A and B are shown apart, each in its own frame.
Chain A
Amino acid sequence: MSDIIFELKDVQYSYLGKFPALCGVDMTIRSGEKIAVIGANGTGKSTLLQLLDGLIFPQNGHMTAFGERLLEHSHADEKAAHRFRRRVGLVFQNADIQLFCPSVREDIAFGPLQLGVAEKEVNRRIIEVAQVLDIQHLLDRVPHQLSIGEKRRVAIASVLAIDPDVYLFDEPTAGLDPLTVRHIIDFIVKANQRGKTIITATHDLHIIGEIADTVYVFGRNKRIVRGGSSESVLNDRLLLETNNLVHIHRHHHDGMEHVHQHLPLEPHD
């Protein structure tokens, strides 16, 4: 199968050799898929995305990317590294980390420039990307003085400027207002329609229906406890409950308080 992008077999990773983060993950990701990775805090979602982005490497198990085995030294060659970076882009969970240039404009330009895109083309991309994400007015601002939502848009812009085939999003909607969430979801859906492969880590069940066809649920044992269509996963109440993914609402009715759980597909009363 040539359209397989990532293939993971029993992949394990632990930080500093003693903090396990992934304990045997199997996954196959094909070109053009829309995938969500959900799980409670600390179940290894970010670690998985960093692995897929070739920033860390499996300590055990087998992983291939674009048909080649991904190993620590496979990025030692600049050409190979650039080829990979042109194809895969990661929007980090923490936008503060991702934006390190003195101005928004330079942050957006950083990726393409590193990858050898000519300056004229880079300047064209800056304008285009800024328009897509509605950040034209922020181009000359200092990234660390922006609001969280603005930073997130800039972070996405800085990856969009590279125009990779595979987008990895780490909690793209956490802490954002509904309108900004809407924009980001629309962006993701449109990118997928253009043929991009999308992998999103999140614990926001409400957006999954739109941003994913396939959902992988990570459990507290740091493995995939379930993978399937987003519909089947969202309807599996027990699965979501045992994995800490259900919103718990507390209501007041006629002076009485009652607590109930709230699933994304149920109408909210």
Chain B
Amino acid sequence: MRNKLHKRRDFIERSTLSALAFLKDATFAEEYANCKGFLQSLDPRFKTITFLLFLITAVSLKSAVLIGSLYGVCLTLALLSSIPVAHFLTRTLLFIPLFSLTIVLPTLFSVVTPGEPVWSFHCLGIHGVITRPGLDGALLFVVRIATSVSLIVLLSITTRHSELLKVLRVFGIPQIFVLTVSMCYRYLFLFATMVENIFTAVKSRVGILSHRQHGQQVVAWNIANTWNRTTQMSEEVYMAMLSRGYTGEPRLLSEFQATPKDWVWLVCAVILCAGLFYKGYTL
């Protein structure tokens, strides 16, 4: 009985802590945004637009080969931007397409996608047939997901999040919204650190929480306490903003500078996408 409770508490604690670790990791990933490389040297506005273009292309094309070539472009860009390919692949290929596989798996079979059978098998008294159209469709889907995810990850790890937010502003999103999002992001981090510290502090004082009721109390008290601290903090942050002259409408720096290189890159990207589309229609 006690052992079971113990496990449950451990589980909650572990999942909380690993979620926090992930959050922090996402922030620290800025190490690639600060490296010197091709994508890092581009103006964030141009980078975002071209990546959106690639994304639209990847989603619209109906040939796995063409999408695959876009994936190749993506990997080359990663190489040119001094991102370790192994890291990039694990982050994209392993993680997200796993989800898509579970969606795709059923469509392989004749029950869902009828067509020319490729392989049939008997398992646990069930007769399954994998069909050619099913296989093609699944391949297309997986390649498309892998490419889209890689593009998004590549954009986000080669651009500082403050710059991505600024791009939002360039695209006409109101400043107050952008400032709010950026503060949320920042306080999420502070909040994460705070919860982590509370966990450590409680542990160092109480040792291992073996009594269930006590554990629940600590969790409930922490939620209340964290809430109080956050509201207190937001009041203080507001004061800090007031102190530096904030009167309701934030004004922020807008300092993007496009170079000829950015324009060349934009033209190249448009030609590439147009070419892929043309190929896709004539195929």
**Residue B7 lies at the interface, judged by CB distance under 8 Å to chain A:** no
Total residues of chain A contacting the partner, CB 8 A: 37
CB of A55 within 8 A of CB of B162, answer: no
Q: Is the interface of B mostly helix, strand, loop or mixed?
A: helix
CB of B245 within 8 A of CB of A145, answer: no
**Residue A105 lies at the interface, judged by CB distance under 8 Å to chain B:** yes
Expressed in whole angstroms, the Cα–Cα distance for A209 and B251 within the complex equals: 40
Expressed in whole angstroms, the Cα–Cα distance for A53 and B243 within the complex equals: 7
Which chain A residues (108-128) contact chain B, with CB distance < 8 Å? 109-111, 113-115, 119, 122-123
The residue in chain B whose Cβ has the minimal distance to the Cβ of A111 is B244
- Known contacts being A55-B239, A162-B245, is A114 close to B250, with CB within 8 Å? yes
Q: Contacts of A159 on B, CB cut-off 8 Å?
A: 244
Total residues of chain B contacting the partner, CB 8 A: 32
CB of B253 within 8 A of CB of A106, answer: yes
CB of B27 within 8 A of CB of A115, answer: no
Query: Which of A53, A85, A102, A142 has the most chain B CB atoms closer than 10 A to its own CB?
Result: A102
CB of B182 within 8 A of CB of A102, answer: yes
A89, A96, A101: the one contacting B190 at CB < 8 Å is A96
Expressed in whole angstroms, the Cα–Cα distance for A109 and B246 within the complex equals: 12
Expressed in whole angstroms, the Cα–Cα distance for A89 and B27 within the complex equals: 31
- Known contacts being A97-B233, A100-B237, A103-B162, is A90 close to B243, with CB within 8 Å? yes
Closest chain A CB from B152 CB (angstroms): 20
Q: Contacts of A235 on B, CB cut-off 8 Å?
A: none
Closest chain B CB from A103 CB (angstroms): 5
Given A82-B245, A97-B233, A144-B190, 10 additional A-B pairs, CB 8 A:
A81-B245, A97-B239, A101-B162, A102-B162, A110-B246, A113-B251, A114-B244, A142-B30, A142-B162, A158-B244
Interface residues of A (CB under 8 A from B): 50, 53, 55, 78, 81-82, 85-86, 89-90, 92, 94, 96-98, 100-103, 105-106, 109-111, 113-115, 119, 122-123, 140, 142, 144-145, 158-159, 162
Interface residues of B (CB under 8 A from A): 27-28, 30, 34, 160-162, 165, 182-183, 185-186, 189-190, 233, 236-237, 239-247, 250-255
